[in-house]
Structure 1
């Protein structure tokens, strides 16, 4: 699994373009998964119920993970809307993003080439307005330790971009933590050395978390 951070939208972008009396209203939003992308698409169908088309494309995961790409023409000729929109998204090196272009038909047909250009340009121009933030890949762990090791572990977490999520106290301590995947091996080695092997870490599943 890739462990390098990647960019996601910091906020929703709206951009409007008029071509031969047709209005193309483009939205870009942060959608961390396919279900969130589908919900965003549906929300714009409900916001603009009288529009002729609600064409869409999304990159639901990491930018390079094509298994989570999708697009749709919503009644436009096949391949003239969703594909050029997705081409712009996939070339932007931004993940977890969904684009929806709402079209109000102006009465003048654009032809297949005109549609490809219109939908691609709409997303391209919206991307030019997009601000992003970094998402780091993190690894959740549970750490079992003695009370005497708490300060040491908290210090190690700070040193390796880790955070403590929860703690359970009984005869010993059980900490739920999350650590930047880039530094996990160094963290585990330091944990072993500084607690003399008395603290035990157990991995859970990979997740992502927003950075700055």
Structure 2
């Protein structure tokens, strides 16, 4: 899965109607709703949208015939393997009816072109965990953790005996990292994994 690096826009005219797509990365449903509210234009005829955050998604046709706008926008998001993304496609009606198929192509195509040209980042699923590490093991454990691709040490809090490290560990590497930490410290440091 991928997500967008920043806000992206794309506009085109189709049979005298103006379509503008605005897409951006979002962290959660509330962020998607705020983005939709901020980027909908009250002067336009329709502000159709879709968003996906993990397994949760929503879409709206905003007055267009059912299934002709929001769903094609969502399909554009899914078709490019995107996650944590919201897209608003705004239409100013130009006087020419497009029909159901034309609307689906216009909304889906405008969203897809906007997303296709956008800069993307690979999304690595991670788990959040914490390890307590004594001073005698800290340097070695920390250096080996930093060598794990896509592992992030979020915080390092020093205690009287060592440090507590808050980590984001790629799901695919979590059990190997837990074993590595235990082996490096001869069992003194353990990394709890979620059930």
Decide whether the 8 Å contact of 1:157 with 1:179 is kept in 2: no
Partners of 2:101 and 2:192 in 1: CA distance: 55
What RMSD, in angstroms, separates the aligned Cα atoms of the two structures? Answer: 1.9
Give the drift of 1:77. Answer: 1.3
Task: Give CA-to-partner distance per residue, 1:175-203, whole Å, 9 cap, x none.
Answer: 22222222222221121122111113234
Q: Of residues 111, 132, 145 in structure 2, which corresponds to 1:144?
A: 132
Q: 1:10-47: per-residue Cα shift (whole Å, max 9, x none)?
A: 122211111121101111211222221111111112xx
Look up the match of 1:54: 47
1:163 corresponds in structure 2 to 152
Q: TM-score, normalised by structure 1?
A: 0.83
Q: Does 1:24 align with 2:19?
A: yes
Q: Provide the C-alpha distance between the structure 2 equivalents of 1:113 and 1:172, rounded to a whole number of angstroms.
A: 64
TM-score normalized with structure 2 length:
0.90
Partner of 1:7: 2
SS of equivalent residue, structure 2 residue 91: strand
For structure 2, the 5+ residue unaligned runs are none
* Whole-Å separation in 2 of the counterparts to 1:95 and 1:204: 23
Matches within 5 A, 1:164-203: 164=153, 165-203=155-193
Aligned to 2:142: 154
